[in-house]
Structure 1
Amino acid sequence: MTLLALQKNSTGSWKSNLPVLWLAVFLCCASYTMCMPFLPVYLLRELHVTQADVNFWAGITFAITFMGSAVMAPYWGALADRVGQRKMAMRAGYGLALTYFLTGVCQDVYQLLLVRVLCGVIAGFVPACLSMASSSLPEEKMGWGMGLMQTSIASGTIMGPLMGGYLSSWFGMRASFYVGSAALFIATTLVILIVHDASVITKGAREISSLLADLKKALENRELLFVMAMFFMVQTCIMLIQPLITLYVGQLMDDMGDAAIKMSGIIFSLSGFTGIIAAPFWGKRGQRFGYVRTFCVVTFAAGFINLFQVFIADVWQFAAIQFVYGLFLAGAVPNINANLTRVTTKEMRGKAFGLVTSAQQFGGVVGPLAGGFLGTYMSTRYVLVITGCILICVAFYSYLTRVRNAAEA
């Protein structure tokens, strides 16, 4: 198929592609947040991990998935250039559906660990869908269409924990994994049957650069390294507390039963609400006042708000602080992403996004491991305070090394 034919097909198919891709991303994100935030309770209730060890195993099971994804992301990205994103979506979607089903039938923590490794290795459904959306959208609809796709991620983040909390209390915790598996199967099937992959695939010899070569190239761009480091730090802070929240809510409520799971679902959903409310606002502020400057403001404010965790006395105070914290932290990723396009050329943009994804995934490895380790030896409220201190340090570092230097130059 010629480039002209592909462009014609793209123009005619985006109206049918976009709703299906939106629904597929929504179902994938809802499936994830329906199950994963409650994994620590699943370890306690269904896999009979002791209370003393649950923080450790929660951190390990979260981190191992991100490790697999970080290692495999460059390979899947290179393969997608040859076979197309539609086939990558099929591989990842059906593969994730299988891993969710297997998680529901696990009988001990070692089986769960193996399934989580497999989940990380085959992940990549949402990036493939976003790539297909961007390939099929006409240029004049690109900003609107990709903004619409971002709402599917936020909406899934809102609905998933709510559905997971009630499914777990009504039908048992394993039911959430089975429903998540079915949702992913349906989403993938819809993409295969309806979506046309409009990406241009160049046939013939292709050089697939290695991760080491990409890293060597990145070392020549100090601004790209800064963006990678900020993605790593923000993701680490996000994941540092995720394995601990459900258990912490149970402690605040003096109840590790269904009420704690439902309340945890509500608190996890707050991040989706804050993303919808605050991300566009902070994105506009970044465009007006500077992306790094705005990044400094939101990370400092989020970190400062988190210091108040030490004073909370009940679950409603915790929820309120988490909401305000999320309103500021929601501005971090949009401004880092925008800064990435400023500091890289179009020729290295794909490579840069791949490296940034790997940096973010490695943050997903370090965060749960550190959170599980710290949660074993100290109260969760102090882990939250440590997270706030890290964000404040990130803000000061960014200001001193980027904003102030730029002003003095």
Structure 2
Amino acid sequence: MSASPSQSPSDVSAHWQRNLYICLFGSFTTVVAMTLLLPFLPLYVQQLGASSEAAAVQWSGVAFGATFLGAGLVAPLWGRLADRYGRKPILIRASLGMAITMSLLGVVQTVWQLVAIRFLAGLVGGYASGAIVMIATQTPKHRTAWALGTHAAGMMAGNLVGPLIGGLLPGLIGIRSTFFLAGGLIFCSFIMTTLFVKEERRAPDPSTSRRGGGWRDIPLLTPVFAMLASAMLLMFANMSIEPIITIYVAQLVQDPKQVTLVAGIVMSAAALGSVLAAPRIGRLADRIGATKVIVCCLALCGVLLIPQTFVTNGTQLVVLRFLMGLALGGLLPAITSVVRHNVPDHTVGYILGYATSAQYIGQVTGPLAGGFIAAHAGMRSVFVMTSVLMFAGAAFNAWVFLRKPRTP
């Protein structure tokens, strides 16, 4: 479905907008499917033979993290293949693979099978990261940050809706049927992507084809490395607090029966803030420059983490986490936009694959570091540590882009 040379600008515009909304739907459904198991995963692990509650919790963590591990390992590979063979085939592969593996989760019989299928889902999936590459390369550059922000809002909405659906459906149709329904939903994304996504393919440059594309083709590496570090820092800051939220809330809420409710609201507040902020901050990044937005958002997150150390009730924490979500929501689309502007078209998917892997590193190391520091230095120290890292990230990006004023 390549564009013909005679296409008018209006036709191309219609294609990138339609691609954006189809990718938005596909990413939303895949994120919903991947997160809906959060409320019932320990129960499912127990049904599969976990010997104790502690074992169920431990295996639940392994099973949930297996997908991120698999996805992080192959993200650069899928990115390179997208550069070589097109972004649409990668989206088709990912949506079909996710539909199959999600359905297979409903027929596993042992915990090991559950972990293996979750790991396989990470290997064959990656629809959301593939959609980011598609949007970044098919959207006019002056609209890139807005389009990526809109897509990011859809992904964050999936993170909000998934656990809610996961808490409702198992009681109505059963856990295994919930997986089958999720697989069917992703299969709808597969059909829509196959039929309606149109990719504008450019004729390959023989010189770049001989080189194969990669790091050597990037004119300035420093801005790209800064964005990889920022992508990792974004997820690190978002996830470092996760292991301690419930316990931290228990110290702030007097009624023990309200602890889990307040903890859930606290976790959702940041995601809601990001959903609301991502398209708007993306539009701002298109207007004033993505690097300015990145520096300001990192610094603002650092500032907002400080009062979270001193809160005295759950309401204060909810408000601060919501405000932090507003700041975090603008980071990912701005980071992707900077990479897009500093990387040649023929290798952008490959480099964005590394950006995806960097995010997964943050998702893994964030909870580990947060739990370790909370255990040895107290829970409030986690906020201080994360704040220091955010300020360091803001200072590093300011240094990089003040030295390179020509970089957008």
TM-score category by the smaller chain?
Answer: 0.7 to 0.9
The aligned amino acid for 1:395 is A
Partner Cα separation in structure 1 for residue 375 and residue 110 of structure 2: 21
- Measured after TM superposition, the shift of residue 123 of structure 1 is 1.7
- Measured after TM superposition, the shift of residue 323 of structure 1 is 1.0
Mapping of residues 139-150 of structure 1, within 5 Å: 148-150=150-152
Counterpart contact for 1:283–1:335, Cα < 8 Å: yes
Counterpart contact for 2:240–2:366, Cα < 8 Å: yes
Counterpart contact for 1:295–1:395, Cα < 8 Å: yes
- Measured after TM superposition, the shift of residue 394 of structure 1 is 2.5
Counterpart contact for 1:92–1:125, Cα < 8 Å: yes
**TM-score, normalising length: structure 2:** 0.75
Mapping of residues 162-173 of structure 1, within 5 Å: 162-168=164-170
55-64 or 189-198: which moved more? 55-64
| Equivalence for 1:387 | 386
| Equivalence for 1:24 | 26
Partner Cα separation in structure 2 for residue 15 and residue 285 of structure 1: 19
Partner Cα separation in structure 2 for residue 343 and residue 135 of structure 1: 12
Partner Cα separation in structure 1 for residue 283 and residue 295 of structure 2: 15
- Provide closer, same or farther for how the CA distance between residues 207 and 272 of structure 1 changes in structure 2, counting only shifts above 3 A: same
> Aligned match of 2:155 in 153, 156, 160?
153
Counterpart contact for 2:145–2:283, Cα < 8 Å: no
- Measured after TM superposition, the shift of residue 185 of structure 1 is 1.9
Describe the SS at the equivalent of 1:35. coil
| Equivalence for 2:237 | 237
| Equivalence for 2:363 | 364
- Measured after TM superposition, the shift of residue 326 of structure 1 is 0.9
Partner Cα separation in structure 2 for residue 296 and residue 163 of structure 1: 36
- Provide closer, same or farther for how the CA distance between residues 52 and 318 of structure 1 changes in structure 2, counting only shifts above 3 A: farther
- Provide closer, same or farther for how the CA distance between residues 159 and 384 of structure 1 changes in structure 2, counting only shifts above 3 A: same
Deviations 1:140-197 (A, max 9, x none): 9877766654443344334333323333565565565443222112221232244444
Partner Cα separation in structure 2 for residue 406 and residue 142 of structure 1: 21
Mapping of residues 172-187 of structure 1, within 5 Å: 176-187=178-189
| Equivalence for 1:101 | 103
| Equivalence for 2:334 | 335
> Aligned match of 1:86 in 85, 88, 97?
88
Partner Cα separation in structure 2 for residue 290 and residue 93 of structure 1: 33
Counterpart contact for 2:149–2:282, Cα < 8 Å: no
Partner Cα separation in structure 2 for residue 137 and residue 286 of structure 1: 15
Mapping of residues 185-196 of structure 1, within 5 Å: 185-196=187-198
**Count of aligned residue pairs for this structure pair:** 401
| Equivalence for 1:353 | 352
Deviations 1:347-395 (A, max 9, x none): 6544433332332233233334445655777876654554334323333
| Equivalence for 2:228 | 228
Counterpart contact for 1:17–1:195, Cα < 8 Å: yes
Gaps of 5+ in 1: none
Describe the SS at the equivalent of 2:115. helix
Partner Cα separation in structure 2 for residue 274 and residue 297 of structure 1: 16
Counterpart contact for 2:144–2:337, Cα < 8 Å: no
Partner Cα separation in structure 2 for residue 380 and residue 394 of structure 1: 22
Partner Cα separation in structure 2 for residue 277 and residue 208 of structure 1: 44
The aligned amino acid for 2:234 is V
| Equivalence for 1:402 | 400
Mapping of residues 30-41 of structure 1, within 5 Å: 30-36=32-38, 39=41
- Measured after TM superposition, the shift of residue 122 of structure 1 is 0.9
Partner Cα separation in structure 1 for residue 215 and residue 267 of structure 2: 34
349-358 or 126-135: which moved more? 126-135
The aligned amino acid for 1:222 is T
**TM-score, normalising length: structure 1:** 0.74
Describe the SS at the equivalent of 2:240. helix
| Equivalence for 2:4 | 4
Say what the alpha-carbon RMSD is for the aligned residues: 4.6
Counterpart contact for 2:133–2:349, Cα < 8 Å: no
- Measured after TM superposition, the shift of residue 275 of structure 1 is 2.3
Partner Cα separation in structure 1 for residue 391 and residue 290 of structure 2: 17
- Provide closer, same or farther for how the CA distance between residues 176 and 272 of structure 1 changes in structure 2, counting only shifts above 3 A: farther
- Measured after TM superposition, the shift of residue 102 of structure 1 is 3.5
Describe the SS at the equivalent of 1:199. coil
- Provide closer, same or farther for how the CA distance between residues 132 and 94 of structure 1 changes in structure 2, counting only shifts above 3 A: same
| Equivalence for 1:300 | 299
Partner Cα separation in structure 1 for residue 141 and residue 288 of structure 2: 26
Describe the SS at the equivalent of 1:4. coil
- Provide closer, same or farther for how the CA distance between residues 231 and 353 of structure 1 changes in structure 2, counting only shifts above 3 A: same
% same residue: 27
